[in-house]
Amino acid sequence: MVKSAKKNDLAGLTLLGKPAQPSRKLEAFPNHHPGRNYTVTLETEEFTCVCPMTGQPDFAKIKIQYIPDKKIVESKSLKLYLWSFRNEGVFHEHVTNVILDDLVAALKPRWCKVSAEFSVRGGIGITVDAEYKK
């Protein structure tokens, strides 16, 4: 039987159901199955940031995988969070690790991995994998 969301699951969620604006605020709701290891996977092909040197756009596929402990990331807040990097000048390696650090701080997961596969520019493609283990 599927458990419905509990009233307090929505407590603290301030972005869901509101107009969308970029935000560095990651929101979460309670994990109803903390005694079980299971993997949550979130993916997007629409991540953008800009080269800190040239200001040219960089595009990436981002894949986030994690084993939740007590919290699960709310997907709209993640979308707005990723959107907040759109005009930020940052190296691929740094932004991937910042995303991982922010997810770990917000969720305190048992395990988390962020993979960023950046589109080829100048003949070189870059893929960055950053991982956290509790």
State residue 53's pLDDT score: 93
CATH number of 36-133: 3.30.1130.10
Do 47 and 82 form a contact (C-beta atoms < 8 A)?
yes
pLDDT of res. 2 = 63
Prediction pTM value: 0.89
Mean pLDDT per segment of 10 residues, for the chain of length 134 residues?
73 79 96 97 97 94 98 97 97 98 98 98 94 96
Phi, psi of 24 (to 5 degrees): -90, 15
Query: What pLDDT is stored for residue 1 in this prediction?
Result: 60
Cα–Cα distance for residue pair 107/109, rounded to 1 Å: 5
Q: Which residues are catalytic?
A: 51, 58
